[in-house]
């Protein structure tokens, strides 16, 4: 059987795998001819590390299951196959006055991927993660069995599959409860903050009144500037908009996007460009507080406007490090993480900080939990970077935090197991024919 080299969003790994197609959701699950070989559903390839790769095994292209099944415009219940992209759902539902209940920072992920990673968005503090809005899904196992699961029906299978990294079987279709909107716009506010204390105060003050909150944080500079950044908060615009803001709306929505045309021989992200970018970004707005009316696309998906932006990190690719730490020690721990990064001299181009809320995640392996999450991108600098990651792991683990498997290509078994204490219960639900590069790594005995 022919194999193909497949990579993930971080472009660090490029293993050979068999690639299997699935022509219909009613079809049987395609399996590799070799009985010992494993399989893994692969959606749109937006997970960063090796949780969507299966080196030496096979991938099933989940993207091929991309039919809608039903959409009730009165109730906002949408049912579709698991390979439908969030962008396709938005194109259908926004004109009808509906929006995704939760959306990650890119619209180019499949519904199956959004469930398997229990993705979160800027509104986690109020509504939880993606899995909290999934009303049903169908799970197809390698033994040919099919199970429709929900929070009340086969609830254990549902809990294993939400956030289950595609390991419990193939999600063939799912049903999602959408939320109402009056129009495609958001009323946004961007506030400059100069310290982590200020960030936590702003978060606290915004939680109740703003559906969406997220911050960009500067991690290129040490000393007094450590922990400064921009706090963004927003709500969907009401039917009757603030006329002062509405006047500034562009008459047409720009749907165009650019593409990074090729992979540069070296990463374009280095110490120099990093400092320049962080400085410019922090100072991009004139006042300390800027209000605007924004279309949902630039607000939720600023990076989707630059297709294949992951190429800017050059041929060696990049890693993302995303952790969450519990609320009790969030401030000192976040400061310690930032200080460690600045000290390493390997600042992150895009650092994102967000307070998760209390809505409990439904998945056994779900990443979101109450606390503060920090996400950072690093160009792949080999050993040096892995030493930094080991230091960060130590801080996260001591604080009782966890790392996000969807972003990960390197965490060890120890931090995985301590961060996801339900891993052992979860492993009972893993399909015997399913596996991934990630799963084999974190299951290694230490």
Partner 1 sequence: MKKILIVGATSAMAEACARLWAQQGDHLFLAARNAQQLQSLAADLQTRGATKVGTRVFDANQHDQHAALLAEATQTLGGLDTVLIAHGTLTDQDHAQHDVPYALAEIGTNGLSVVALLTLVANQLEQQGRGAIAVISSVAGDRGRQSNYVYGSAKAMVSAFTSGLRQRLAKKGVHVVTVKPGFVDTPMTAHLPKGPLWAKPEQVAKDISQAIDKGRRIVYTPGFWQLIMLIIKTIPEFVFIKLKL
Residue ranges in contact with partner 1 by CB under 8 A = 1-2, 4, 18-26, 61, 64, 67-71, 80, 92
Sign of the Cα torsion 18, 436, 159, 361 reads negative
Q: How far is the CB of 227 from partner 1 (least distance, A)?
A: 45
**Under a CB-based contact definition with an 8 Å cutoff, are residues 232 and 186 in contact?**
no
- Give the N- to C-terminal CA distance of the chain in Å, as an integer: 34
Q: CB of residue 395 vs partner 1: minimum separation in angstroms? A: 43
- Beta carbons within 10 angstroms of residue 143's beta carbon: 10
Closest-CA residue to 7 (of 45, 39, 64, 42): 45
The residue among 25 and 311 lying less far from partner 1, judged by its C-beta, is: 25
- Least separation, in Å, of the C-beta of 341 and partner 1? 39
Strand partners, 234: 188, 212
Instruction: Between 6 and 416, name the residue whose CB sits nearer to partner 1.
Output: 6
Which residue number, 70 or 280, has a Cβ lying nearer to partner 1?
Answer: 70
Nearer to partner 1, 80 or 374 (CB): 80
Q: How far is the CB of 262 from partner 1 (least distance, A)?
A: 14
DSSP string for 36-97: T--EEEE-SS--SSSTT--TTSEEEEGGG---EEEEETTTTEEEEETT-BHHHHHHHHGGGT
Residue 98 CA to residue 103 CA, distance in Å, equals 13
Output 14 or 289, the one with its CB closest to partner 1. Answer: 14
Q: Which is nearer to partner 1, 107 or 123 (CB)?
A: 107
Q: How far is the CB of 305 from partner 1 (least distance, A)?
A: 20
Minimum CB–partner distance for residue 97 and partner 1 (Å): 15
Report the residue number, 30 or 412, with the smaller CB distance to partner 1: 30
Closest distance of CB 53 from partner 1, Å: 16
In angstroms, what CA-CA distances link 265 with 262, 314, 320, 340, 349? 9, 6, 20, 29, 18
Of 70 and 74, the one with the shorter C-beta distance to partner 1 is: 70
CB of 21 to partner 1, least distance (A): 3
The closest alpha carbon to 84, from 10, 25, 39, belongs to: 25
Q: How far is the CB of 99 from partner 1 (least distance, A)?
A: 17
Write the Ramachandran bin of 382: left for phi over 0, alpha for psi from -120 to 50, otherwise beta.
Answer: left
39 or 338, CB closer to partner 1? 39
3-state secondary structure of 225: helix
Provide the minimum distance between the beta carbon of 142 and partner 1 in the complex, in angstroms, as a whole number.
18
Nearer to partner 1, 80 or 230 (CB): 80
Choice between 87 and 291, CB closer to partner 1: 87
371, 404 contact by CB (below 8 A): no
Q: DSSP class of residue 344?
A: H
d(CA 255, CA 365): 36
Residue with the two structure tokens 């992150």: 348
Q: How far apart are CA 114 and CA 112, in angstroms?
A: 5
99-to-77, 94, 112, 209, 361 alpha-carbon distances in Å: 11, 6, 18, 19, 21
Structure tokens at 51: 């949780």
Q: Distance between CA atoms of 212 and 256, rounded to whole angstroms?
A: 25
Phi, psi of 117 (to 5 degrees): -110, 5
Q: How far is the CB of 43 from partner 1 (least distance, A)?
A: 14
- Phi, psi angles (nearest 5°) of residue 114: -65, -35
Q: Which is nearer to partner 1, 3 or 414 (CB)?
A: 3
Shortest distance (Å) from residue 79 CB to partner 1: 9
């Amino acid at each position: 059987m022919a194999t193909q080299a497949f990579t993930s969003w971080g472009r660090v790994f490029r293993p050979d795998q068999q690639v299997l197609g699935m022509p219909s959701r009613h079809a049987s699950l395609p399996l590799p001819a070799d009985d010992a070989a494993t399989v893994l559903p692969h959606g749109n390839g937006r997970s960063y590390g090796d949780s969507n790769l299966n080196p030496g095994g096979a991938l099933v292209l989940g993207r091929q299951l991309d039919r809608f099944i039903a959409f009730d415009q009165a109730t906002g219940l949408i049912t579709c196959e698991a390979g439908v992209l969030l962008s396709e759902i938005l194109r259908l539902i926004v004109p009808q006055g509906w929006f995704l209940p939760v959306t990650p920072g890119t619209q180019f992920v499949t519904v199956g991927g959004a469930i398997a990673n229990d993705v979160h968005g800027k509104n986690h503090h109020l509504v939880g993660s993606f899995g909290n809005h999934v009303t049903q899904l169908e799970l197809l196992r390698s033994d040919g069995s099919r199970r429709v699961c929900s929070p009340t029906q086969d609830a254990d299978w549902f809990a294993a599959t939400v956030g289950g990294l595609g390991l419990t079987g193939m999600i063939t279709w799912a049903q999602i409860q959408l939320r109402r909107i009056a129009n495609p716009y958001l009323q946004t506010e961007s506030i400059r903050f100069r310290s982590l204390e200020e960030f936590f105060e702003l978060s606290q003050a915004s939680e109740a009144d703003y559906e969406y909150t997220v911050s960009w944080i500067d991690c290129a500079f040490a000393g007094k500037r450590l922990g400064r950044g921009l706090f963004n908060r927003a709500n969907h615009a009401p039917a009757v908009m603030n006329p002062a803001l509405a006047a500034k709306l562009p008459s047409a929505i720009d749907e165009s996007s650019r593409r990074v045309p090729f992979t540069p021989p070296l990463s374009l992200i280095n110490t120099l460009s990093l400092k320049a970018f962080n400085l410019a970004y922090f100072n991009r707005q004139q006042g300390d507080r800027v209000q605007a009316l924004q279309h949902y696309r630039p607000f939720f998906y600023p990076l989707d406007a630059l297709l294949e932006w992951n190429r800017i990190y050059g041929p060696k690719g990049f890693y993302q490090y995303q952790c969450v730490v519990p609320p009790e020690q969030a401030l000192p721990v976040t400061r310690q993480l930032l200080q460690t990064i600045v000290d390493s001299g390997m600042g992150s181009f895009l650092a994102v900080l967000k307070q998760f809320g209390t809505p409990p995640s439904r998945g056994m392996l779900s990443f979101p939990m109450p606390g503060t999450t920090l996400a950072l991108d690093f160009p792949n600098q080999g050993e040096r970077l892995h030493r930094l990651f080991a230091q960060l792991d130590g801080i996260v683990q001591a604080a009782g935090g966890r790392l996000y498997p969807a972003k990960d290509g390197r965490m060890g078994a120890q931090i995985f197991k301590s961060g996801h204490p339900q891993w052992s219960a979860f492993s009972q639900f893993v399909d015997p024919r399913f596996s991934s590069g990630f799963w084999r790594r974190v299951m290694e005995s230490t």
